[in-house]
Amino acid sequence: EYAIRTFGHESAGRFTPIGGFDRMASITRPVLDRALLEVAVDAGAETRFGEKVAGLLGSGTAADPARGVVLESGEEIEARWVLGADGRVSTVARLLSLEKQQPLAGEMAFMFTYWRGLPETDQFKIDVVEAGSLIWTPAEDDLSMLVLGLDPQLTRGDQAHHRRIFAEMLEHYSDWFDPSWLASGEQVGGVRVAPETMLRGFFRQPNGPGWALVGDASHFKNPSTAQGISDAIEQSLHVAAELLDGDELPGYEAWRDERAREHYEWSFDFARFPNRETAAPIFRGLAADPEAGQNLRDALSRQLRPRSDVFTPERLGEWFSAAPQGVA
């Protein structure tokens, strides 16, 4: 179940089923990445580990299409297509001299950590207050993930500082998340930090002669709406389908931009500190309208769009006109 609470106004429920599934899964990257790799190997992919790409064969232009990669060892690997699925600091994008476009920034930085032994829950919950946000979600093997959205200045310092700040910030959410639970649990790893500067969004040209980018290499949203992995898998499937039909990607950029358009700005709206005068009426209205709450969850699963289908002008007008003056 997905639950979001802002200034005490909560909307919770399951998703409209996709392929028979109406719930989400929070999976750590070591587990998810291994599962995706196993699917690729089972499909016949040849893998290399511990070797970095240092260059491209071909410049990626119409006159000189990309036709493979050069490893740091000097070995050349030829390929019909070069696909860069190598993250927001993509090596392939750098080698192609691709600039970032349409930049956006939020306001929060993030701290996150993993724990074992917290109370059982089947709910992904995000709570938003003036100071930031807290996400608590179960993962695999009795792991729970805690994510704090907070002032970027608080992420500076060493690990001892991060642990202290994390504990202090949890007090903002003690009405539903008891900080004393951590004393009986086991922390797995330290407190990890995602500075605001590494969370800034962009688009890049997604394809050209002999090459294509997918996932964060192509386009980076703020992780506040948890769309990154969905984008990467969806884009990979789209590129694969186009290449199975031919040797070009004529519709990829337009398709990507249309899929990303509303969700891109929305992710950065989520990554800003809430203004009570505007956020309280919106989330009070959302909590009181089951259909709107369902629409919100279905926007997160990419079945709907945030502005066109959830926060419509009609709904916003109704919610703000119904808001009690001077009451949060």
Beta bridge partners of 78: 68
Name the pTM for this structure: 0.92
Looking at residue 247, what is its pLDDT? 86
| Residue appearing with tokens 């949203």 | 221
Looking at residue 326, what is its pLDDT? 56
Looking at residue 112, what is its pLDDT? 97
What is the rounded distance in angstroms from the CA atom of residue 192 to the CA atom of residue 159?
Answer: 9
Residue 254 CA, chain-centre distance (Å), reads: 21
The set of residues, in sequence order, having a beta carbon less than 8 Å from that of 231 and lying 6+ positions away, is 215, 216, 219, 221, 259, 260
Looking at residue 246, what is its pLDDT? 86
For 15, counting Cβ atoms within 10 Å of its Cβ (0-12 exposed, 13-18 middle, 19+ buried), the class is middle
Looking at residue 136, what is its pLDDT? 98
| Mean pLDDT, rounded, of the chain | 95
Looking at residue 277, what is its pLDDT? 93
Residue 312 identity: T
pLDDT tens for the chain, 328 residues: list them. Answer: 999 999 999 999 999 999 999 988 899 999 999 999 999 999 999 998 899 999 999 999 999 999 999 999 999 999 999 999 999 999 999 999 999 999 999 999 999 999 999 999 999 999 999 999 999 999 999 999 999 999 999 999 999 999 999 999 999 999 999 999 999 999 999 999 999 999 999 999 999 999 999 999 999 999 999 999 999 999 999 999 999 988 899 999 999 999 999 999 999 999 999 999 999 999 999 999 999 999 999 999 999 999 999 999 999 999 999 877 655 5
Looking at residue 328, what is its pLDDT? 57
